[in-house]
Amino acid sequence: MIKKYVEVWENCLSVIKDNVHSQSFKTWFEPITPIKLENNVLTIQVPSQFFYEWLEEHFINLLKKTIKKELGSDGRLEYSIIVDSSYETNSPYSVLYPTSNVRATRNPMMSMPLDLNRGTTKDIPNPFIIPGLKKIKVESQLVESYSFDNFVEGECNRLARSAGYAVAENPGKTSFNPLLLYSATGLGKTHLAHAIGLQVKNNFPDKTVLYVQTEQFINQYIESVRNNNQNDFVHFYQMIDVLIIDDVQFLAGKEKTQDTFFHIFNHLHQNSKQLIITSDKPPVELKGMEPRLLSRFKWGLSADLQMPDLETRIAILKRKLYKDGIEIPQEVVEYLAYSITTNVREMEGALISLIAQSSLNKKSITIELARQMIDKFVKNTTHEISIDFIQKIVCDYFGLPIDQINTKTRRREIVQARQLAMYFSKKHTKSSLATIGLHCGNKDHATVLHACKTVTNLIETDKNFRNFVNEINKKIQH
The Cα–Cα gap between 158 and 90 comes to 52
217: enclosing H helix or E strand: helix 214-226
Looking at the DSSP assignment, which residues form a beta bridge with residue 224? none
**What is each CA distance from 12 to 47, 53, 96, 211, 256, in whole angstroms?**
19, 19, 20, 35, 40
Q: Which domains does the chain have, with CATH numbers?
A: 2-106 (3.30.300.180), 158-304 (3.40.50.300), 310-477 (1.10.1750.10)
The Cα–Cα gap between 299 and 312 comes to 31
In contact, 236 and 230? CB cutoff 8 Å: no
pLDDT at 3: 53
pLDDT at 145: 84
Q: Pseudo-torsion of CA 189, 192, 197, 203, nearest 10°?
A: -160
The Cα–Cα gap between 425 and 461 comes to 22
83 Cβ contact partners less than 8 Å away, ≥ 6 residues apart = 49, 92, 93, 94, 95, 119, 231
pLDDT at 244: 95
Looking at the DSSP assignment, which residues form a beta bridge with residue 297? none
Find how far residue 239's CA is from the centre of its chain: 19
43 Cβ contact partners less than 8 Å away, ≥ 6 residues apart = 5, 34, 35, 36, 37, 77, 78, 79, 80, 96
Find how far residue 130's CA is from the centre of its chain: 23
475: enclosing H helix or E strand: helix 463-477
Alpha-carbon radius of gyration of the chain: 31
pLDDT at 115: 34
In contact, 303 and 193? CB cutoff 8 Å: no
Q: Return the ∠ at Cα 304 (arms to 302 and 310), rounded to 5°.
A: 165
The Cα–Cα gap between 208 and 139 comes to 8
Across 293-323, b (16+ Cβ under 10 Å) vs e yields beebbeebbbbbbbbbbbebbbbbbeebeee
The Cα–Cα gap between 225 and 63 comes to 32
SS3 content of the chain, % helix, strand, coil (to 5): 55, 10, 35
pLDDT at 95: 55
Residue type, 356: A
130 Cβ contact partners less than 8 Å away, ≥ 6 residues apart = none
Mean pLDDT by groups of 10 residues along the chain of 478 residues: 76 87 80 88 82 78 87 86 48 53 40 33 47 53 87 85 91 90 86 94 91 91 86 88 92 89 91 92 84 87 84 84 80 80 76 78 78 64 69 85 78 88 87 81 86 90 87 81
* CA-based nearest residue to 303, from 465, 402, 206, 181: 181
pLDDT at 297: 87
The Cα–Cα gap between 26 and 21 comes to 9
The Cα–Cα gap between 165 and 259 comes to 30
